[in-house]
Amino acid sequence: MRRNLTAYLFLTPVLLFFGVFLIWPGITLFFQTFQTGGIMSPAIVVGTKNWERTFIDPLVLKTVWNTIRYCLMAIPVVFIIAMVLALALNSVRIGHTAFKTIIYYPTLQPILIAALMFTFVLHQDFGVLNIIMRAITGNPVNFLGNESLAMPTIALVEVWKGVGFWTLLFLAGIQNLPRDLYHAAELDGAGPFRRFFQLTLPLLKPTFFFSIIFATIVNLQVFDSIFILTDGGPFHSTASTTWYIYRSLFTFNEPGYGATLSFVLVIVVLILTALQSFAFRDRN
Amino acid sequence: MTEIAIEFRSVFKKFDDFVAIRNLNLLIRKQEFLVLLGPSGCGKSTILNLLAGIEDPTSGEIFVNGKLVNYLLPRYRNVAMVFQSYALYPHMTVAKNIEYPLKSDKGLSRNRDKITKMIAQAAELVDITDQLSKKPPALSGGQRQRVALARALVRDPEVFLMDEPLSNLDAQLRDTMRYHLINLHRKIGKATIYVTHDQQEAMTMADRIVVMNEGSAQQIGTPLEIYNSPVNKFVAGFVGHPRMNFLPGKSLGNRSVQVGEFKLTSSRDTGQKGTPLVVGLRPTDAKSKKGYNNVEGKITAREFTGTDTILTLSSGSIEGVRFRHIGGGSDIEGDTACFSYAPENVHIFNEDGKGRFS
Amino acid sequence: MWKLIGKQRNVVSLRPTPPVITVSYSVLFLAAIVSILPFLYILSTSVKDTQSLFSYPPEWIPEQLFWGNYVKLFQETSFLNWTFNTIFIGLSITILKLIIDAMAAYSLAKLQFIGKHIISSTLLMAVAIPVAALIIPLFFIVRDMGLLNTYWALILPALANPLGIFLLRSFIVSLPDELIHSARLDGASEWRVFTQLILPLISSGLVVHAVFTFMLQYTNFLWPLVAIQTETRQVLTVGISSLKSNFVVDWGLISAASLLATIPITILFIALQRFFLAQSLSSALKG
Mean pLDDT along residues A113-127:
86
Q: What does the pLDDT read at residue C13? A: 45
| pLDDT reading at C7 higher than 60 | no
Highest mean pLDDT among A279-283, B34-38, B156-160: B34-38
From chain C, the residues in CB contact with A134 under 8 A are 56
In a domain, C41, yes or no: no
Are A137 and A129 within 8 A, CB to CB? no
C223 → chain A, closest CA residue: A246
| pLDDT reading at A203 higher than 90 | no
Q: What is the DSSP letter of A91?
A: T
Average pLDDT, chain A: 88
In a domain, C160, yes or no: yes
What percentage of chain B exceeds 70 in pLDDT?
97
Mean pLDDT along residues A132-151:
86
Q: What does the pLDDT read at residue C247? A: 66
Which residues does A113 contact at the CB level (< 8 Å), separation at least 6?
C237, C240, C258, C261, C262
Q: Sorting pLDDT into bands at 50, 70 and 90, what band is B350?
A: confident
| pLDDT reading at A93 higher than 60 | yes
Among residues A241, A207, A229, A62, which one has the least CA distance to residue A160?
A: A229
Q: What does the pLDDT read at residue B305? A: 83
| pLDDT reading at A101 higher than 80 | yes
- Residue C201, chain B, CB below 8 Å: the answer is yes
Q: How far is C252 from chain B (nearest CA, A)?
A: 52
CA atoms of B341 and B348, how far apart (whole Å): 13
From chain B, the residues in CB contact with C197 under 8 A are 89
Among residues C224, C7, C130, C137, which one has the least CA distance to residue A112?
A: C224
Mean pLDDT along residues B56-74:
90
Are C87 and C261 within 8 A, CB to CB? no
What percentage of chain A exceeds 90 in pLDDT?
49
- Residue C286, chain B, CB below 8 Å: the answer is no
Give per-residue pLDDT as tens, C236-247. Answer: 999 999 888 766
Sign of the Cα torsion B168, B173, B178, B181 reads: negative
Are C47 and A173 within 8 A, CB to CB? no
Are B47 and B36 within 8 A, CB to CB? yes
Give per-residue pLDDT as tens, B115-167. Answer: 999 999 899 888 899 999 999 999 998 899 999 999 998 888 889 999 998 88
From chain C, the residues in CB contact with B52 under 8 A are 181, 185
Q: Sorting pLDDT into bands at 50, 70 and 90, what band is A181?
A: confident
Q: What does the pLDDT read at residue B356? A: 59
Select from C34, C222, C279 the Cβ nearest to the Cβ of A172. C279
Q: Sorting pLDDT into bands at 50, 70 and 90, what band is A222?
A: very high
| pLDDT reading at C153 higher than 90 | yes
Q: How far is B31 from chain C (nearest CA, A)?
A: 21
Interface of A with C in 163-192 (CB under 8 A): 163-164, 168-169, 172-177, 179, 182-183, 186, 192
Are C220 and C58 within 8 A, CB to CB? no
What percentage of chain B exceeds 90 in pLDDT?
39
Select from C3, C178, C188 the Cβ nearest to the Cβ of B75. C188
Q: Sorting pLDDT into bands at 50, 70 and 90, what band is A154?
A: very high
Q: Report the 3 state secondary structure along chain C.
A: CCCCCCCCCCCCCCCCCHHHHHHHHHHHHHHHHHHHHHHHHHHHHHCCCHHHHCCCCCCCCCCCCCCHHHHHHHHHCCHHHHHHHHHHHHHHHHHHHHHHHHHHHHHHHHCCCCCHHHHHHHHHHHCCCCHHHHHHHHHHHHHHCCCCCCHHHHHHHHCCCCHHHHHHHHHHHCCCHHHHHHHHHCCCCHHHHHHHHHHHHCHHHHHHHHHHHHHHHHHCCHHHHHHCCCHHHCCHHHHHHHHCCCCCCCHHHHHHHHHHHHHHHHHHHHHCHHHHCCCCHHHHHHC
In a domain, C7, yes or no: no
Q: Do C178 and B87 touch (CB under 8 A)?
A: yes
From chain A, the residues in CB contact with C241 under 8 A are 112, 116, 227-228
For residue C219, the enclosing domain spans 79-238+272-286
In a domain, C142, yes or no: yes
Q: What does the pLDDT read at residue C286? A: 46
Interface of A with C in 51-110 (CB under 8 A): 81, 84-85, 87-93, 95-96, 99-106, 108-110
From chain C, the residues in CB contact with B101 under 8 A are 185-187
Q: What is the DSSP letter of A20?
A: I
Count the domains in chain C: 1
Give per-residue pLDDT as tens, B78-128. Answer: 899 999 889 999 999 999 999 999 887 777 777 888 899 999 989 988 889
User: CATH number for the domain including C184?
Assistant: 1.10.3720.10
| pLDDT reading at A177 higher than 60 | yes
Average pLDDT, chain C: 85
Q: What does the pLDDT read at residue C15? A: 67
In a domain, C38, yes or no: no
Give per-residue pLDDT as tens, C171-199. Answer: 999 999 999 999 999 988 899 999 999 99
In a domain, C183, yes or no: yes
Mean pLDDT along residues B280-293:
86
- Homologous superfamily (CATH) for A52-283: MetI-like (1.10.3720.10)
Give per-residue pLDDT as tens, A17-36. Answer: 999 999 999 999 999 889 88
**ipTM, interface predicted TM-score of the complex:** 0.89
Q: What does the pLDDT read at residue B62? A: 93
Helix (H) or strand (E) holding B50: helix B44-52
User: What domains does chain B contain, in order, with CATH numbers?
Assistant: 4-238 (3.40.50.300), 245-349 (2.40.50.140)
From chain C, the residues in CB contact with A227 under 8 A are 221, 225, 241
From chain B, the residues in CB contact with C182 under 8 A are 81, 83, 87, 89
Chain C interface disruption, residue of B48, B56, B91, most C CBs within 10 A = B91
Q: Where are the beta strands (DSSP E) in B266-345?
A: 276-281, 293-304, 308-314, 321-326, 336-341
